[in-house]
Amino acid sequence: MKTIHIDGPIGTEAGEVSAKWFRSQLPVDNSPIEIRINSEGGSVFEAFGIYDLVSAYPGRKTAVVASMAFSAASLIPCACDDSAITPNGYTMVHAPHMEGDELTDGDSRLLTSLRKKMISLYSAKTGQTIAAMTKLVEQETFFDAEASIGLGIVSRIVRTSSAVMARMPVRILAKIKAGPTGGTAKARWNSAVLQACGNVTIADRRHPGLRLRMLTEVNAR
């Protein structure tokens, strides 16, 4: 079984995971694949592209959320035959955003359309009603491993290898040590959420305006 890693932001910039790159990783013999996800999200359109590629792939596909599948990245497990999560993994769903203080009517229509499509995909995967998923998406909701199973976006918890587990605390501590005052808005927001134990409301209260700057930065890619 081939393992494909989605590690980092989804998008088309250097260092990001694009649909084009993901297509190049698919086996030509349609053998089973495992997609390991550790991503804060990114471009909704690129995520849709990856979703479509996974959905159309004839072989069996398994997703493993290894640390995080936030925002657009949480769409990927919805395209798989089987989805799992590591014990320390988190998923997050929220509505798409667009940079800029003032949106045109066209911008608003596009965001509404994207939101509806995302909610429909989540609903089909989880079995949750459209109304229930709409509420979760609008609230920007984080789920730990057990809650992700309860939601239905994954079905089981898998243990990580000792090599992967050995790396995880280093990366998390690096984020916290950097704090919400340095680096990109995305990195500062991740640190703020970690320091608030995953509570977005507390992180938002402690760092007003940071979440909006993060969303603007991510969606600008």
- For 22-78, what is each residue's pLDDT tens digit? 999 999 999 999 999 999 999 999 999 999 999 999 999 999 999 899 999 999 999
Q: pTM, whole model, 2 decimals? A: 0.73
Of the pLDDT bands very low, low, confident and very high (cuts 50, 70, 90), residue 211 is low
Q: Report pLDDT for 175.
A: 32
Instruction: State pLDDT tens for residues 129-182.
Output: 999 999 999 998 999 999 999 999 999 999 865 444 444 443 333 333 334 555
β-pair partners for 2: 33
Whole-number pLDDT of residue 179? 42
> pLDDT value at position 206?
75
**Model confidence pLDDT, tens digit, residues 182-192:** 567 767 766 66
The answer to whether 141 and 92 have CB atoms below 8 angstroms apart is yes
Complete DSSP assignment for 94-128: -----SSSS--HHHHHHHHHHHHHHHHHHHHHH--
Just give the CATH number of 2-160. 3.90.226.10
Domains of the chain: which residue ranges?
Answer: 2-160, 168-221
Q: At what angle do helices 44-56 and 105-126 cross, to 10 degrees?
A: 40
What mean pLDDT do residues 8-14 have?
91
pLDDT of residue 166: 42
